[in-house]
Amino acid sequence: MTLPFLPFARPTLDEETIAAVAEVLRSGWITSGPRVREFEDALTRYLGGERTVRSFTSATAGLEIALQACGIGPGDEVVVPAMTFAASANVVLRVGARPVLVDVEADTRNLDPQRLRDAITGRTRAIMPVHFAGLAADLDAIGSIARERGLRVIEDAAHAIGTRHQGRLVGSYGDLVCFSFHPNKNMTTIEGGALSFPGGAAAEVRCADLERFHGIVRNAEGELDVQIPGGKSNLSDVSACIGLAQLAKLDGFIERRHALVARYFERLHTDPAMVLPARGDAGHSWHIFAPLLPLDRLRLSRSGFVAALQARGIGAGVHYPSLAGFGAYQRLGYRTEQFPNAAHIGANTLTLPLFPGMQPADVDRVCDACAEIIEVNRL
């Protein structure tokens, strides 16, 4: 019997959610409206009620607006991990600043605080830690350096909705924190993202409100004024409706991910061995499961390994190549060899299937396939 194709990610959408979306469509109000306000209020409550939350069409838009809200622009520098999705650094370039790449820790794949201090210059305005795969970065060390040097911390928490750091939800404290609700994340709004602002950040919140919808404000009579040449990245009520349903199930989704990951750690044994990701603690939200392939001991490439999985009906991803290997960053003078951990991870990483709809048998199928491919291709 041919098994169905197993993708590396798939959103979990139930019939109740689909029915709720149909209700929004029938309402005649499908752009930003009451459901967006309800979703932002729900996110605020989820994060403890002490923050202000604004939603956007993507986390990328949220990160760019966070930089704008912090007044970061030409001549400024922002520290970014050398191993992350390109959006983290791209938005820095888009506001006219320079991303300063710093290597990651070999095990956590998060920004290395030991290397961070040396990367800070008189032009540095912010640090952008990324919570890779849902494992919280070392916010204590990063925050201490930021306070010492008077820097903003803009957390790229695209992987980390539901992640906890020392028992506290990422986004429930600290400076600006940006989440993603892309379909492959732990919860989705189809496309979407959100910024969590600290108390006392009224100026930053106002900037976000202006930037996400054309710089428009209205007076008490409803008359319109455009105060800045803002963009357009406001979330729709359709997306917010999905987000409300997903947020209510988020903790259950994460619990399921923990169970599937435990199965991976129990069953994923190959010869030569794959390097398994850092397990972290109970606060890890396990957005992805990305071991490293032992490519130096195999006679096939990563793309060959992916093709072999595909032939067995299993999807895989690559999260992520080193930023320093991309043309946009090589033109800034960066080279992969400057960031050895990011280079090694980027060249050997493979993302295996992980989503709440998987069954333990699906994990076993992936593990057996990996073991077999490695067995027949080892040097």
Give me the half-sphere count of Cα atoms (radius 13 Å) on the Cβ side of residue 198. 11
Q: Is the pLDDT of residue 165 over 90?
A: yes
Residue with tokens 């210059």: 121
Task: For the chain, report the end-to-end CA distance as a whole number of angstroms.
Answer: 32
Q: pLDDT value at position 101? A: 98
pLDDT tens, position by position, 84-135: 999 999 999 999 999 999 999 999 999 999 999 999 999 999 999 999 999 9
Residue with tokens 């061995």: 273
Is residue 154 within 8 A of residue 178, CB to CB? The reply is yes
Share of the chain above pLDDT 70, in %: 100
- Secondary structure class of 349 (helix, strand, coil): strand
* Average pLDDT across the chain, whole number: 97
Query: Do the domains 15-244 and 250-377 sit in the same CATH topology, yes or no?
Result: no
C-alpha triplet 21, 23, 28: angle, nearest 5°: 105
- Secondary structure class of 196 (helix, strand, coil): strand
Which value, in Å, is the radius of gyration of the alpha carbons in the chain? 21
Domain 250-377, CATH among 3.30.70.260, 3.30.1130.10, 3.10.20.30, 3.90.1150.10: 3.90.1150.10
DSSP letter for each residue of 69-90 = HTT--TT-EEEEESSS-THHHH
Longest alpha-carbon distance in the chain:
75
| Structure token digits, residue 360 | 């333990």
pLDDT tens, position by position, 322-335: 999 999 999 999 99
Residue with tokens 């919860």: 187
Q: Which is nearest to 157 in space by CA: 103, 213, 85?
A: 85
The pTM score is 0.97
Q: pLDDT value at position 2? A: 82
At residue 23 the predicted structure's pLDDT band, cuts being 50, 70 and 90, is very high
> Dihedrals φ, ψ of 339, to 5°?
-130, 75
What is the residue extent of each domain of the chain?
Answer: 15-244, 250-377
At residue 270 the predicted structure's pLDDT band, cuts being 50, 70 and 90, is very high
- Alpha-carbon distance 180 to 53, whole Å? 13
The string over 85-105, giving b where at least 16 C-beta atoms fall within 10 Å of a residue's C-beta and e elsewhere, is: bebbbbbbeebebbbbbbbbb
Which residues, 6+ apart, have CB-to-CB distance to 237 below 8 Å?
24, 27, 29, 30, 31, 32, 33, 34, 35, 36
Upstream peptide bond of 320 is cis (omega within 30 degrees of 0): yes
Q: Which is nearest to 78 in space by CA: 182, 175, 215, 198?
A: 175
Query: 192: how many CB neighbours lie within 10 A of its CB?
Result: 28
What is the CATH code for 15-244? Answer: 3.40.640.10
Q: Where are the alpha helices (DSSP H) in the chain?
A: 15-27, 34-46, 59-69, 87-94, 113-119, 139-149, 202-212, 237-267, 302-311, 327-330, 340-348, 360-377
pLDDT tens, position by position, 200-243: 999 999 999 999 999 999 999 989 999 999 999 999 999 999 99
DSSP letter for each residue of 138-192 = -HHHHHHHHHHHT-EEEEEETT-TT-EETTEETTSSSSEEEEE--TTSSS--SS-
Residue with tokens 């990328």: 60
Average pLDDT for 258-287? 97
Is residue 186 within 8 A of residue 253, CB to CB? The reply is yes
Q: Is the pLDDT of residue 1 over 80?
A: no
Which residues, 6+ apart, have CB-to-CB distance to 233 below 8 Å?
56, 57, 58, 61, 62, 65, 211, 212, 213
Length of the chain: 379
Q: pLDDT value at position 143? A: 98
Would you name the residues annotated as active-site residues?
A: 185
Q: pLDDT value at position 76? A: 98
